[in-house]
Chain A
């Protein structure tokens, strides 16, 4: 008889569902410990305050990438949406405070429309997510060029800059907003009926369809929400930078994927965690900061980032870093 082993109550201490997402916390804690020891001034308030806003923006964008990856997709259009949002915030507002709110709303609206377009291409036309988002990214890059001709005509409204940079308890509002967005997303996914349906569709599409869950609607909504997350990241980024470049989102094409992968959400679908992705974003940003502040050129920063991504993800899958820190066996 192939009955399961007798219950081992100790396993309840750490539900299996958290297993893959534990490693990123350990890695990040270790990184901060190293920063404190090895880099002079690595953990001063000033250092943190220059790092956290970037981590915050990446964390918000990574919410969107996590949602898509959890549904078995991959989103290469994050860069395009963030760039377009920065452009719209500047161009629509014309740099005036009165234009700030309309500009943000227009940017969010455009993002939602973009997400709906991608979602419909994926669900109705059966275009693979990689391909659909690659094409959408190209279209968005075209729009950015079309709107700007390669140069921004003005700046981000001062009101938005002031708001995003406003300090609460010594930390810029951009960081608080990001933390709030991540927390709300995590709560909604874990605790609401819609979120649970979202999780189930991502982990078992065919089973969800067989049960009568609205698979296509869930998937289309995923791309809309993801695009909104990128747009939110774009607004925060624009407000934080003040003078965003035309292709300001470019770096987010790969870094959102890296943050999600480091966080532990499985590429190809299954279980995901926006909180783990946010910690992944924090990790990647702090890593960049540490390398830069140690005086190494950008080149070295790239090399170290690459090595850490490989180690961070490779160790988890293979030698069971997760097992050591999480007390649970690996996936296989």
Chain B
């Protein structure tokens, strides 16, 4: 670590000093050569761009430099020292930081917690996340957000900047940026460029990977081109023109990529008049037969909202839409589809395809009724049609039954287009049709879109890539502040004009908020506080207790209070354990049977005359054993938590029955008395439960372990990339749960006094109930142990009150059931209404 810091703290290294050297790197995956004899030298203080197609070897090269990929031959030298044992940690320590295209930001955590989790050890060891340190990190990248904000609320640009802030904390000597502007608005790009220049001026070597040639030429000092795993040349950025770079990248010229434009434009087909809705107002647009119209603008200026309105996904509130003279009203996606409007979404994997299904199923889904008789699909007709469209779009797949995920990005996109062609669209809408698609497939997609236009279909294409719009479209509409700023056509239709118009239109709005964060991820400030449920649950419990006591005064008598709190403590222990698992995105169905097994075990090892310490140790060993099995099955074998704990719960039942086919044995009276000790009418164990819950919440909020626990649930992949030891964390959660269950079982055993294998079972569902009414998110990452304790309290009061009031036993089921539904429905409503 110190080495890296020294390098960075040293006065700006003299120009020409190599900060990163790759010497003769070769790497093959089976028969595929990813890199062949690659030499690359990046000097301190320079911005060195690396350009190339998808599959050219860029990712492998980054992986080698970052220590994540071990090359077959060649060496990596960082700051003059060879990277001997290639691991990401070693490369990081030597001063290499990588900002990946897909930021490893954890949505469930706050901005500050994201920084803390990725922090260099030197900052970590200080008291967690000091305010100044966080502020410095954010200021360094010019990110103006509340550090206590949840990362889920950040826009793409803010996420990218946060990712860079994380990388810069280690004060790297070499900073690798992988496609950093892919999700950035034009003005955010400027800010990023200023930051990169500043870093380079301070002596950092920056490796800048991008496919946007115009950008690369502006930011880079030198440009290296990679094609088919070989270096095709390195040149100074000054004095080289776009065409030359493109030729180096693809081995052919730019013109070859785009199809010829239409010679003559026909009659108007799609007419939009005064359309307005969320994010855009008063848009007029006419698309003629044979024409491709582009939508441009700085991210978040309404162009995407407009396009999605046409597709029925963001319904317009004013204005009209006509197709060939007939009005259409896309008030929903279904209505738009019924009118023949077909939409190709930008987020292909989420909105475009069903990942688990085959190519055939993905292509045919939009046209099934055409192949159907009385609602039954004729499979041979379907298959022929699918094969025809696959050929028309030149999808490269082994067969129509091939899984869609095995295809490359370009082929997946062609599947989406094949679906559209098969459905015989009346209007074609494309959002970023070539995102993540390599140049070869790109040309094919452009050809398909042009073909549709030539067949008279109105085609509307939205793209952040101005060069793409300039090359593909006949006209481009530039959006600003939700309105049409300018329409470019013919000679005005150039990359520079598109970018220029878009950027000028929003000049002076450098604070433009990124607005394309999916709304489903927005959360209100209110619901941000995970413990918010606690006071509500306490209040409910108090009201119920008060009402019951008004009818039956003995309810609040000292005897009942003690009994009640004792039962609550037992459930609270188990619920605390359950929450630890739920936070990791899991669930433990085994807590009930485990509690039963532990009671049975206690009836042997904690019977009269046995040694207390030994007995407790044996019980602890059994609990840890079950926890270990659960944790290992989930974390190592990677079984779904429901399946893993279902299996252990069955096994625990079996083991309990094996030990005691019938209830029998007895648990040491001395232990029973000790556990049931009360001070001032309150069982001591209830106090222990409160202390445990409060302590656990402190660990959860204030320590790195707690942050890691919340991090592994919602997004394990990202957490792992940051360096969270996901497996150990999940394993620890199941172990903690088992130990908490042991505490609950001690109370249960002390109360019933005999080894009864049938006891304990209900704890599974009641502990889950307690955790859920406490507002924990079942996908993990959100929850409060104190709230879980309050949940246990409410459930305890309900159970106790119903029997006190002489209500039918069924109320013991109805009330918790209703409370669960209400609690969850209300919290969802609150989160929804907040944005």
Are A310 and B813 interface neighbours, CB within 8 A? no
Are B637 and A318 interface neighbours, CB within 8 A? yes
- In the assembled complex, A145 has its CB within 8 A of some CB on chain B: yes
**Segment of A21-29, A54-62, A102-110, A189-197 in the binding face:** A189-197
* A16 and B650 contact, Cβ closer than 8 Å, known pairs A196-B361, A204-B357, A210-B352: no
Q: In the complex, how many angstroms separate the beta carbon of A57 from the nearest chain B beta carbon? A: 19
Central interface residue in A197, A210, A302, by most chain B CB within 10 Å: A210
Contacts A/B (CB < 8 Å), 6 sampled? A16-B358, A135-B816, A138-B816, A206-B351, A210-B313, A212-B335
- In the assembled complex, A159 has its CB within 8 A of some CB on chain B: no
Are A134 and B765 interface neighbours, CB within 8 A? yes
Measured CB to CB, the nearest residue on chain B to A196 is B368
- In the assembled complex, A183 has its CB within 8 A of some CB on chain B: no
- In the assembled complex, B643 has its CB within 8 A of some CB on chain A: yes
**How long is the Cα–Cα vector from A5 to B411 in the complex, in angstroms?**
12
- In the assembled complex, B805 has its CB within 8 A of some CB on chain A: no
Within 8 A of A (CB), among B642-658: 642-644, 646-651, 653-658
Are A203 and B357 interface neighbours, CB within 8 A? yes
Top 9 A-B pairs ranked by shortest CB distance? A302-B654, A204-B354, A212-B337, A142-B813, A138-B817, A306-B651, A299-B657, A270-B356, A203-B354
Measured CB to CB, the nearest residue on chain A to B369 is A193
| Contact flags B440-471 to A (C-beta < 8 A → 1, else 0) | 10000000000000000000000000000000
Within 8 A of A (CB), among B383-403: 396-399, 401-403
Measured CB to CB, the nearest residue on chain B to A306 is B651
**How long is the Cα–Cα vector from A4 to B402 in the complex, in angstroms?**
11
For the residues of A in contact with B, the DSSP-based class is helix
- In the assembled complex, A309 has its CB within 8 A of some CB on chain B: yes
Give the contacting residue for B438; candidates A1, A142, A150, A194; CB below 8 A.
A1
Q: In the complex, how many angstroms separate the beta carbon of A114 from the nearest chain B beta carbon? A: 12
Give the contacting residue for A300; candidates B639, B654, B825; CB below 8 A.
B654
Residues of B within 8 A of A300 (CB): 654, 658
Measured CB to CB, the nearest residue on chain B to A8 is B398
Residues of B within 8 A of A16 (CB): 358, 401-403
A-B Cβ contacts below 8 A, count: 263
**How many residues of A are counted as interface, with CB atoms below 8 angstroms from the partner's CB atoms?**
81
- In the assembled complex, B379 has its CB within 8 A of some CB on chain A: yes
Give the contacting residue for B814; candidates A11, A139, A210, A309; CB below 8 A.
A139
Are B396 and A3 interface neighbours, CB within 8 A? yes
**How long is the Cα–Cα vector from A258 to B347 in the complex, in angstroms?**
34
Are B398 and A11 interface neighbours, CB within 8 A? yes
Residues of A within 8 A of B772 (CB): 131, 134
**How long is the Cα–Cα vector from A142 to B236 in the complex, in angstroms?**
77
Residues of B within 8 A of A167 (CB): none
- In the assembled complex, A307 has its CB within 8 A of some CB on chain B: yes
**How long is the Cα–Cα vector from A270 to B361 in the complex, in angstroms?**
13
Q: In the complex, how many angstroms separate the beta carbon of B590 from the nearest chain A beta carbon? A: 10
* A130 and B651 contact, Cβ closer than 8 Å, known pairs A7-B399, A193-B368: no
| Contact flags A181-220 to B (C-beta < 8 A → 1, else 0) | 0000000000111101101100110111111111000000
| Contact flags B391-423 to A (C-beta < 8 A → 1, else 0) | 000001111011100111111000000000000
Residue ranges of B at the interface with A (Cβ–Cβ < 8 Å): 53-55, 311-313, 332-338, 343, 345, 347, 350-358, 361, 364-366, 368-369, 372, 375-377, 379, 396-399, 401-403, 406-411, 438, 440, 587, 589, 633, 637-640, 642-644, 646-651, 653-658, 661, 765, 768-769, 772, 778-779, 808-814, 816-818, 820-821, 824-825, 828-829, 832
Are B53 and A142 interface neighbours, CB within 8 A? no
Residues of A within 8 A of B399 (CB): 7, 9, 11-12, 15
New A-B pairs, 18, CB < 8 Å, besides A5-B398, A130-B778: A2-B410, A7-B398, A11-B398, A11-B399, A137-B817, A144-B810, A145-B813, A192-B377, A200-B361, A203-B355, A204-B356, A207-B350, A207-B354, A210-B333, A210-B345, A210-B351, A212-B337, A317-B638
Residues of A within 8 A of B354 (CB): 200, 203-204, 207-208
Give the contacting residue for B825; candidates A125, A137, A254, A307; CB below 8 A.
A125
Measured CB to CB, the nearest residue on chain B to A267 is B640
**How long is the Cα–Cα vector from A145 to B410 in the complex, in angstroms?**
58
Are B658 and A139 interface neighbours, CB within 8 A? no
* A127 and B828 contact, Cβ closer than 8 Å, known pairs A2-B408, A204-B357, A309-B646: yes
**How long is the Cα–Cα vector from A303 to B275 in the complex, in angstroms?**
65
Central interface residue in A191, A200, A305, by most chain B CB within 10 Å: A200
Give the contacting residue for A310; candidates B335, B377, B639, B658; CB below 8 A.
B639
Residue ranges of A at the interface with B (Cβ–Cβ < 8 Å): 1-5, 7-9, 11-12, 15-17, 74, 121, 125-128, 130-132, 134-139, 141-146, 149-150, 191-194, 196-197, 199-200, 203-204, 206-214, 254, 257-258, 261, 266-271, 297-303, 305-307, 309-310, 313-314, 317-318
Residues of B within 8 A of A258 (CB): 643, 646
Are A132 and B401 interface neighbours, CB within 8 A? no
Residues of B within 8 A of A301 (CB): 654
Are A4 and B408 interface neighbours, CB within 8 A? yes
Are B633 and A314 interface neighbours, CB within 8 A? yes
Are B818 and A12 interface neighbours, CB within 8 A? no
* A126 and B828 contact, Cβ closer than 8 Å, known pairs A210-B351, A267-B643, A299-B661: yes
Measured CB to CB, the nearest residue on chain B to A128 is B778
**How long is the Cα–Cα vector from A157 to B565 in the complex, in angstroms?**
47
Residues of A within 8 A of B372 (CB): 192-193
Q: In the complex, how many angstroms separate the beta carbon of A199 from the nearest chain B beta carbon? A: 7
Residues of B within 8 A of A143 (CB): 810
* A197 and B368 contact, Cβ closer than 8 Å, known pairs A203-B354, A206-B351, A306-B654: yes
Q: In the complex, how many angstroms separate the beta carbon of B627 from the nearest chain A beta carbon? A: 15
Q: In the complex, how many angstroms separate the beta carbon of A310 from the nearest chain B beta carbon? A: 5
**How long is the Cα–Cα vector from A130 to B829 in the complex, in angstroms?**
18
Residues of A within 8 A of B639 (CB): 310, 313-314, 317
Give the contacting residue for B53; candidates A1, A15, A17, A314; CB below 8 A.
A1
**How long is the Cα–Cα vector from A11 to B351 in the complex, in angstroms?**
28
Q: In the complex, how many angstroms separate the beta carbon of B826 from the nearest chain A beta carbon? A: 9
Are B828 and A125 interface neighbours, CB within 8 A? yes
Are B357 and A271 interface neighbours, CB within 8 A? yes
* A192 and B396 contact, Cβ closer than 8 Å, known pairs A15-B358, A302-B653: no
Give the contacting residue for A266; candidates B335, B356, B366, B644; CB below 8 A.
B356
Are B365 and A211 interface neighbours, CB within 8 A? yes
Are B313 and A303 interface neighbours, CB within 8 A? no
Residues of B within 8 A of A12 (CB): 399, 401
Residues of A within 8 A of B361 (CB): 17, 196, 199-200
Are A207 and B351 interface neighbours, CB within 8 A? yes
Give the contacting residue for A207; candidates B312, B353, B589, B644; CB below 8 A.
B353
**How long is the Cα–Cα vector from A145 to B810 in the complex, in angstroms?**
5
Q: In the complex, how many angstroms separate the beta carbon of A13 from the nearest chain B beta carbon? A: 10
**How long is the Cα–Cα vector from A302 to B654 in the complex, in angstroms?**
5
Are A130 and B587 interface neighbours, CB within 8 A? yes
Residues of A within 8 A of B654 (CB): 298-303, 305-306
**How long is the Cα–Cα vector from A165 to B812 in the complex, in angstroms?**
37
**How long is the Cα–Cα vector from A305 to B336 in the complex, in angstroms?**
51
Q: In the complex, how many angstroms separate the beta carbon of A271 from the nearest chain B beta carbon? A: 5
Are B657 and A298 interface neighbours, CB within 8 A? yes
Residues of B within 8 A of A8 (CB): 398
Are B355 and A302 interface neighbours, CB within 8 A? no
Give the contacting residue for A194; candidates B352, B356, B375, B828; CB below 8 A.
B375
Residues of A within 8 A of B343 (CB): 210-211
Are A1 and B55 interface neighbours, CB within 8 A? yes
Are A302 and B657 interface neighbours, CB within 8 A? yes
Are A267 and B642 interface neighbours, CB within 8 A? yes
**How long is the Cα–Cα vector from A149 to B810 in the complex, in angstroms?**
9
Are A193 and B377 interface neighbours, CB within 8 A? yes
Are B406 and A206 interface neighbours, CB within 8 A? no
**How long is the Cα–Cα vector from A298 to B403 in the complex, in angstroms?**
43
**How long is the Cα–Cα vector from A207 to B365 in the complex, in angstroms?**
11
Residues of B within 8 A of A121 (CB): 821, 825
Residues of B within 8 A of A313 (CB): 639, 643
Residues of A within 8 A of B345 (CB): 207, 210
